[in-house]
Amino acid sequence: MLSRILEKYRENGIQGIVLALISRFPGVRAVCVYYVYRLPFDKLVRKQLSVGNLKVVQVKSDSMGDLIRVQDKPDIFGERFQMGHYGFVAYVNNDPVAYLWGQEGPVHVERRFGFEVPIKDNQVFYYDSYTIPEWRKSGVGRALIQESIDFFKNGLGKSELIAIIETGNLVSQKTYERMGFVREAMHIHLDIIGKKINKQLARMVTQ
C-alpha cells in the first residue's frame, strides 16, 4: 500500500496520493484534485516575443476551419460557439498554429468530470488551448494569452482571467505562474455512484 502511494506521488503529486487513497473506497468513479488560478490583467507579466510574422485573431463560427486545421474537433468547437464562448487563433506566416478558448460566467462546466467552476462578473474563464507540436515552447501560447487579455479587457470590460490546473500538472503550473497567475485555492471533485461532490480543500490567497 505504501509503495503504491509513493508511486502515485511521484507520478501526480498530491493528486496521486488522493487518487491512491480515495479510489479504494467502493463506488468512487472519478477523482480530480485541482488548483484555481487567477490572473488580474494588471499583473500580467508581458514578454516581447521573437516569433516572426505572428498574429492572433478572434475567430467566429463562420471561420471555424482554421480552428479545425489546428485540431480536428468540429463538433466541440461548434458547441462552444453556440454557447457564446470566445475562440482565438494564432497564425505564423498566415498558417494557424494554435488556439485558445475563454468564456464569461456565471459558470463553466468542466467537460471531463462535470463539475462547475463559478465565474465572477469581472472574470473570463480560460479553459482550453492547444499548440501544434512544432510550435510549442516558441512563445505562441503566451502570445495567445496576451492578445486575448487585451480583447477581454478592452472589448468586454473584464479585469481577470481564471483557470484550473490539476495538481499533478506541474509544467502548466510553472508556466502560468511565470505569466503572473496566482494560485488561489485547491479543490477536490468526487463522483460517488453518480453523486458529484466538489469541495474546497485550501485557500492560498485572499486578495
Is residue 24 within 8 A of residue 186, CB to CB? The reply is no
User: Which fold is adopted by the domain 34-185?
Assistant: Aminopeptidase (3.40.630)
Is residue 69 within 8 A of residue 63, CB to CB? The reply is no
Tell me what pLDDT residue 87 has. 98
Q: Which of 84-88, 104-108, 188-192 has the lowest mean pLDDT?
A: 188-192
Tell me what pLDDT residue 98 has. 98
Tell me what pLDDT residue 201 has. 87
Helices (H) and strands (E) in the chain, counts: 5, 10
Average model confidence (pLDDT) for the chain? 88
Q: 26 or 56: which carries more pLDDT confidence?
A: 56
For the cut 80, the answer to whether the pLDDT of residue 81 exceeds it is: yes
Q: What is the pLDDT of residues 166-184, one digit of tens each?
A: 988 989 999 999 999 999 9
Mutual orientation of helices 170-179 and 140-154 as an angle, nearest 10°? 50
Query: Angle 49-69-181 (CA atoms, 0-180°, nearest 5)?
Result: 40
Residues sharing a CB contact under 8 Å with residue 30, sequence separation 6 or more, in sequence order: 113, 189, 190, 191
Tell me what pLDDT residue 4 has. 55
Q: What is the pLDDT of residues 136-164, one digit of tens each?
A: 989 999 999 999 999 999 999 999 999 99
Residues sharing a CB contact under 8 Å with residue 147, sequence separation 6 or more, in sequence order: 56, 88
Q: What is the pTM of this model?
A: 0.84
Q: Which of 17-31, 112-126, 136-150 has the lowest mean pLDDT?
A: 17-31
Of the candidates 49, 50, 87, 51, the residue with the CA atom closest to the CA atom of residue 69: 87
Q: How far is the C-alpha of 4 from the C-alpha of 10, rounded, in Å?
A: 10
For the cut 70, the answer to whether the pLDDT of residue 7 exceeds it is: no
pLDDT-derived band at 49, boundaries 50, 70, 90: confident
Residue 171 amino acid letter: V
| Partners of 103 in the β-ladder | 125
Cell digits for 27? 463506488
